[in-house]
Chains A and B, each alone.
Chain A
């Protein structure tokens, strides 16, 4: 017994002394940093011939524009560059680049192969550490150079930020033209940077709310062909389109399921609307909501287990979530005003929405349980948020107040609410939908 007391006594003394004896290390927490774009230098990719040099200049420019537009990078002024593409391939003079406050350096080379294809290779250097961060090479046909540039930009973005890029993507949207009383709305598609613009419909019918399939082969949208509002499927590769199902009443607000096997949409009946799904293989329709209210704008969670939608079932237009089969309906928006067009983030952590309050429209985000609501953009009329595939950037459209200079333009904004930028389009544009990364 005495021995036990002695042991306990010793342990107790040790317990008292130990914390002070381990005092040798210094621990310092760094919880704040400098939140500003990372300076990156992207000299023209080296090409031995005139043609290769031209491709090298073009690719470097597209890569630079992609990264700068993200708001996370700033391009070091090319006039200050201390080395050209040729000498960079031998060895970058890091000390000289550091003087320009360059943190990352991209060195690339273009070589035309005997079969006519281009070999595009690049290395990303950490200028401070003087170490290569990544290096890749791609082969492509010459007229695909722009896409390779986006792929290079994605690789650089991912290596530095740790997040997937979103530059090798496309936007489908509604191209608008004509006077307000006779507005022509056509389906159009372009690269995310506004290049390679193509109009997909002839303008004979009003087209609204296009949405990309996750498999990239198809778009679903609502159109008024022969003045009958219906949901359609459109194959981008073949140009073939078909009406989705044979319903007596209006179908609208379509969106693909995350696996691309179903389309979820709204069906109008007797002044109300409810949410349905259609299996694209069996063409079987399933009713998800029921009741004498308007439930619309459905969107799946990325895992396909839940659906968010807007409804006036509680007396005003609000956002709800439910299981994919329609159970466990929960209202998640409780702020002032009306809420609509909820879109689940590809990361699954946020839902973007449109809010109308005090005569103004807002684009905002909240968590799927309704907490953490914050507004990212405000306008006379702003609507139609769509997520970049990495869940970091949103695109939407803003309409200016009626007047002589009335316009409808698309904008992108970072999830933090900074870096709002207009997306260049040849005409007025609305209802953007962002594609996944191209396969």
Chain B
């Protein structure tokens, strides 16, 4: 069987295989993208440390994690800090307490000006922070 005949016979299978490879590749791409993002957090490690020093989570309790959306001014001060899940904030007392503690951290004078690279404003003008006490003793 020459290649032309072989291709004609298996072209549908080949196309299906091609589509599958792209789908699986997409999945892998997402997986690696996530990890690449984690690695890319390194430029923000000093920022991470700064916020951690302003945050006083309650030790020994199972506080829920809270997502906060930050809008940051070019001078690295916080313009807006808001709880992402507002509906839960209104009805879950435990979540409300965690969220209040996170916002309290962002109001700490030590976190007034954020430790962010000045030349990358376009990257950090909007930041999503997750306060997750999983490593708190």
Is the beta-carbon distance between B60 and A415 smaller than 8 angstroms?
yes
Is the beta-carbon distance between B137 and A416 smaller than 8 angstroms?
yes
**A residues in contact with B107, CB < 8 Å:** 126, 128-129
Query: What range describes how many residues of A lie at the interface?
Result: 35 or more
Stretch at the interface among A26-34, A60-68, A228-236: A26-34
Which interface residue of A20, A29, A163, A414 has the most chain B CB atoms within 10 A? A29
Stretch at the interface among A4-12, A296-304, A305-313: A4-12
Choose one: B25, B55, B96, B126; the contact of A33 (CB below 8 Å): B55
Is the beta-carbon distance between B131 and A30 smaller than 8 angstroms?
yes
Q: How many angstroms from the CA of A128 to the CA of B133 in the assembled complex?
A: 21
In the assembled complex, the CB of B90 is this many whole angstroms from the nearest CB of chain A, namely 15
Which interface residue of A15, A23, A33, A103 has the most chain B CB atoms within 10 A? A33
Query: What range describes how many residues of B lie at the interface?
Result: 35 or more
Q: Which residue of B lies closest to A163 (CB)?
A: B61
In the assembled complex, the CB of A272 is this many whole angstroms from the nearest CB of chain B, namely 39
Is the beta-carbon distance between A38 and B56 smaller than 8 angstroms?
yes
Is the beta-carbon distance between A28 and B44 smaller than 8 angstroms?
yes
In the assembled complex, the CB of B136 is this many whole angstroms from the nearest CB of chain A, namely 6
**B residues in contact with A30, CB < 8 Å:** 48, 51-52, 55, 129-132
Is the beta-carbon distance between B126 and A26 smaller than 8 angstroms?
yes
Residues of chain A from 1 to 50 with CB closer than 8 A to chain B in the complex: 5, 8-9, 12-13, 15-16, 18-20, 23-36, 38
Given known pairs A15-B22, A28-B44, A162-B93, the reply for A129 and B104 (CB within 8 Å) is yes
**A residues in contact with B58, CB < 8 Å:** 72, 161-163
Number of A-B contacts (CB under 8 A): 127
**B residues in contact with A24, CB < 8 Å:** 126
In the assembled complex, the CB of B64 is this many whole angstroms from the nearest CB of chain A, namely 10
Choose one: B15, B30, B94, B135; the contact of A162 (CB below 8 Å): B94
Choose one: A28, A33, A103, A163; the contact of B57 (CB below 8 Å): A33
**B residues in contact with A103, CB < 8 Å:** 56, 104
Q: Which residue of B lies closest to A131 (CB)?
A: B107
Is the beta-carbon distance between A128 and B104 smaller than 8 angstroms?
yes
Q: Is A98 an interface residue (CB 8 A)?
A: yes
Q: How many angstroms from the CA of A18 to the CA of B51 in the assembled complex?
A: 31
Can you report 17 residue pairs joining A to B where beta carbons are below 8 Å apart?
Answer: A15-B23, A16-B22, A26-B123, A27-B37, A28-B130, A29-B129, A30-B51, A31-B132, A31-B133, A31-B136, A33-B52, A34-B53, A35-B56, A126-B107, A416-B59, A416-B60, A416-B137
Beyond contacts A16-B25, A19-B30, A33-B57: 19 other A-B pairs, Cβ-Cβ < 8 A, are A12-B19, A12-B23, A15-B27, A23-B37, A26-B123, A26-B126, A28-B47, A31-B136, A32-B136, A33-B56, A33-B105, A33-B133, A34-B53, A35-B59, A35-B136, A162-B97, A162-B98, A163-B61, A415-B60
